Amino acid sequence: MDILNAIILLLNYIFIPALTYGSQLALGAIFVTLIYGILRFANFATGDMMSFGTMVTILFTWYFQSLGISLGILPTALLAIPFAIIFMILYMLSIDKFVFKYYRTNKSPPVQLAMVSIGVMFVTQAVVRIIIGPSDRRFFDGEKFIIKAREFKEMTGLNEGLALKSTQVLTIFVTIVLVSLLFWFLNKTKTGKSMKAYSDNEDLALLSGIDPKKIVMITWIIAGILATIGGALYGLDKSFKPFTYFNNMLPIFAAAIVGGIGNPFGAFLGGYVIAFSEIFLTYAYKKFFMYMLPESMEPESLIQLLSTDYKFAVSFSILVIVLLYRPSGIFKGKVL
């Protein structure tokens, strides 16, 4: 019984939250990695693009709510996401046309493009804050829990409760569907394969008749979809605040590099690597050992490897270690 309790404890406080957080990071990391693989620059506007997509989702959600449309137990935001995606794609394509295209056709060095993306970051951040303001917003409606901790305890008779939030299930489910669709697209369709070829060797791809304009456009479209869904899922699960989204850029970068930048599958796994290590290292295991060990050996301290204040620092340290020992990432980057 104690062992079951301990397992439920870990599931509730480590496994499920980490899986959710990892999925959110993974979507962002694939976004970063695609831009890096095909357009060849580090996009510092990642976090703010995600917050832009979320903002549009929130605006549509409010609009639907004012019309009285809802999805019952599911959040209204799910209905808003497709509309937000269309908006976001238009935004991405216009940014590309007015900003990035010039440097791409001039074959500017990647550093210059990264600097330009900082300009885009400032502008996007300003637009989001001017339209919706910098404050914390929750836009989740519908049923909050699938299983409540108390119900679970009554059901199973265990000491430890397992709370399963609907947003957690939703996040994991949507991520799996979206990522499998994406990998199917990249590996099986002709366009996806030509994207891969373009990422591998631009000149050879051009010689074999691949249209670079089309590749770039499709990349931005996929990026727009990923940014909106990733951002909206994060906002549903936690809350929407432009500053947090800007900060999320850092673990997302860490995930993309740890997985091997330019490699979408690596980025996907990198998200989970970062999320799990952050939560594993900062969780206080006292209760776990209380269940597992006999009473005489019960620990006195919290048995916490690092205080939760260092949550972010953990992922960055992993990144530094990976950069030192395996600069191409765990899963050999730059192959797409």
* Residue showing tokens 């432009």: 242
Q: Is the separation of the CB atoms in 40 and 261 below 8 Å? A: no
Candidate ranges 1-9, 15-23, 152-160, 323-331; the one touching other proteins (CB under 8 A): 323-331
The span of 155-163, 220-228, 248-256, 288-296 binding other proteins (CB under 8 A) equals: 248-256
3-class state of residue 146 by DSSP: strand
Q: Do residues 224 and 30 touch, judged by C-beta distance below 8 A? A: no
DSSP for 180-226, written as a single string: HHHHHHHHHSHHHHHHHHHHH-HHHHHHTT--HHHHHHHHHHHHHHH
Residue 331 CA to its chain's centroid (Å): 18
Under the binding rule (CB under 8 A), the answer on residue 25 touching other proteins is no
Task: Name the minimum Å distance from CB 58 to other proteins.
Answer: 16
Is the separation of the CB atoms in 248 and 54 below 8 Å? no
Q: Quick one: which segment of 202-210, 233-241, 278-286, 315-323 binds other proteins (CB under 8 A)? A: 315-323
Q: Which of 1, 324 has the CB closer to other proteins? A: 324
How is residue 40 annotated by DSSP? -
* Nearest residue (CB) to other proteins, 208 versus 307: 307
Binding-site member from 21, 91, 198, 246 for other proteins (CB under 8 A): 246
Window 112-131: residues binding other proteins (CB under 8 A): 112, 114-116, 118-127, 129-130
Applying CB under 8 A, the site for other proteins has a residue count of 44
Whole-angstrom distance, CA of residue 95 vs CA of residue 50: 14
- Please, which residue, 7 or 250, has the CB nearer to other proteins? 250
Binding track, positions 44-63, relative to other proteins; x by CB under 8 A: x-------------------
d(CA 81, CA 227): 11
Q: Which residue has the tokens 């600069």?
A: 327
- Provide the binding-site residues for other proteins, judged by CB under 8 A: 41-42, 44, 99, 102, 109-112, 114-116, 118-127, 129-130, 133-134, 246, 250, 253-254, 257, 307, 309-310, 312-313, 316-317, 319-320, 323-325, 327
